[in-house]
Structure 1
Amino acid sequence: MVYSRWRRKLPDWLTVRPVELPGRGSRLDESLQTDLCALARQLAKELRPELRRPYAIFGHSLGALLAFELTHALRELACAPPLMLFASGTAAPTRREDYEKGYAQAKSDAELITELRELQGTSEEVLANHELMTLTLPILRADFLMCGRYRYQQRSRLDLPIRVLGGTEDRSSLEQLRAWGEETASDFSLDMFEGGHFFIHEHERQVLETIGDGLSTHWDRTRACVATHY
């Protein structure tokens, strides 16, 4: 739903294609995934027929890590690479030590709600809604496990630009964000925004300008963008 709003706010030459993950939305009847690399391979096979035009990939938080692994999975399928990878709101794949410690074991409902409060992106009214939390917490539990159980694989660098977006008050340090530069044999840049983990909502206009400006230098105005989100 977040990315659907972007359709109205990005330039006309840029098409947004939100990626829905198994176990939610229209894919609610599918099993939730806790293996991020397996999910990336699944999505790569699903998206492969759609990638006939040049494209970019954007992911925020866990979605950024998934976008990174999706890019590698598409390369394994011999697909044309994205023109740019946007990684937003999370540490680089080689700097996941904080996440491995905190998320590798399944969290209780109370622990998940505490985590949501600390991320400051969910209202107390939503957290207090028992019916909504009953639907949401199993998805969040699987996502946290997927994050905590991820293990980096050493591979050749991606031959495409990586542009990283970070929040000044988010948990990822500048060193963890800059480490994304180790994953590309091409250009790397880092843009910082005021705010915490959900700076992409607080500064949506600036974030979209960053995406549009970055892509406008790499393609003509007939392209598509794939987005993943946590």
Structure 2
Amino acid sequence: MLQNVPFAFFGHSMGSYIAFMTALHLKENYKLEPMHCFVSSATPLHKITHFHSSSFSGISEEQLFNFTTNIGGISKDLLENKELLEMFLPVLKADIQMIQNFNFVKSSKTLLSCDITCFSGTEDIAEEMEGWKDLTSGSVETHKFPGNHFYLTNPSNETFLINYITRCFEISYCA
């Protein structure tokens, strides 16, 4: 049981939404809350607009491929592996459809009290990262790294993320 064990969530892209909604579910239903929530390359839930446009309705896998390639949303390793790409595109399409169909309504019940740290690439499509402050009574910090949606695969960015998250645990656990 997590009653006396500090925990945190890290989510990248759609994983950020899953992490936030899981934290909210735990808070509302079990009175448990992470000590920290780390979101990466994700526009705040109440600010998402780019996936709600009609341009994504009925999008073909080729159009999806072109869109994600243009925004830097597909890693080079994936682009070079056609078999893996064929498995990935339907999953990505389903993720976008899920975001399109998801209706998040901000209210006092949809707020966390833990700190949130936001990470994104300078060339990423994630917008208004500071808007995560509307979803917690805790503090919110944002960090931008050189790169696109996959900024975190850069070794220096990865090292920063690991060290930063480790420090957050040490500070919170020792406090």
TM-score interval, normalised by the smaller of the two chains: 0.7 to 0.9
Q: Which residue of 2 aligns with 1:57?
A: 9
Q: Which residue of 2 aligns with 1:169?
A: 123
Q: Which has the higher helix share?
A: 2
CA contact (8 A) 1:55 1:82 kept: yes
Structure 1 residue runs without a partner (length 5+): 1-48, 221-230
Aligned residues: 168
Q: Which residue of 2 aligns with 1:122?
A: 75
* Per-residue deviation, residues 71-91 of structure 1 (Å, max 9, x unmatched): 111122214210001111111
CA separation of 1:131/1:191 partners in 2, compared to 1, >3 Å: closer, same or farther? closer
TM-superposed deviation, 1:132: 2.5
Q: Does 1:154 align with 2:106?
A: yes
Opposite residue 151 of structure 2, the aligned amino acid is F
Instruction: Give the TM-score of the pair, scaled to structure 1.
Output: 0.66
CA separation of 1:200/1:158 partners in 2, compared to 1, >3 Å: closer, same or farther? same
Moved over 6 A (4+): none
Q: Which residue of 2 aligns with 1:143?
A: 95
The sequence identity of aligned pairs, in percent, is 25
CA contact (8 A) 1:89 1:170 kept: yes
**1:71 alignment partner, one of 15, 18, 23:** 23
Instruction: Give the TM-score of the pair, scaled to structure 2.
Output: 0.85
Structure 2 residue runs without a partner (length 5+): none
Aligned-residue CA RMSD (Å): 2.1
Supply the distance in 2 between the matched residues of 1:168 and 1:65 (Cα, whole angstroms).
20
CA contact (8 A) 1:54 1:83 kept: yes
Supply the distance in 2 between the matched residues of 1:166 and 1:141 (Cα, whole angstroms).
22
Supply the distance in 2 between the matched residues of 1:216 and 1:129 (Cα, whole angstroms).
40
CA contact (8 A) 2:46 2:106 kept: no
